[in-house]
Amino acid sequence: MTQTILITGPSLAPAAADVLTAAGYQPVYVPAYTTGHGLIDIVHAANPVGILARMGRVDEPVFAAAPRLQVVSKHGAGVDNIDTDAAARRGIPVLNAAGANAVSVAEQTIALMFAVAKKVIPLDRGLRDGRWDKPGFQGRELAGSALGLVAFGAIARQTARFAKGLGLSVSAYDPYTPAEIFAAEGVEQVQDLDVLFANCDILSLHCPLTASTKDLVNAERLSRMKPDAIIINTARGGLIDETALANALRDGRIFGAGLDTFAQEPPPADHPFWSEPRLVLSPHIGGVTTAANLRVGLEAAQGIVDVLAGRTVSETRIVNRAKLSISA
Decide if 68 is catalytic: no
* Active-site option among 206, 284, 295, 317: 284
Kindly report each contact of residues 294-297 with a partner whose C-beta sits within 8 Å and lies 24 or more positions away, as own/partner: 294/13, 294/15, 294/16, 295/97, 295/100, 295/101, 296/75, 296/76, 296/97, 296/100, 296/101, 297/12, 297/13, 297/15, 297/16, 297/17, 297/75
Which one from 89, 90, 161, 265 is the annotated catalytic residue? 265
**How far is the C-alpha of 228 from the C-alpha of 226, rounded, in Å?**
5
Q: Are 186 and 157 in contact (CB under 8 A)?
A: no
Structural contact between residues 201 and 167, judged by C-beta atoms closer than 8 angstroms: no
Is there a catalytic annotation at residue 236? yes
- Reported in sequence order, the residue ranges of the chain that DSSP labels E, i.e. its strands, are 3-7, 25-29, 50-53, 71-74, 94-95, 146-150, 169-173, 188-189, 202-205, 230-233, 256-259, 279-281
Cβ–Cβ under 8 Å, residues 92 and 75: no
The residue from 75, 236, 295, 317 that is catalytic is 236
Q: Is 265 a catalytic residue?
A: yes
Q: Which of 141, 261, 244, 251 lies closest to 205, judged by CA?
A: 261
Catalytic (active-site) positions: 236, 265, 284
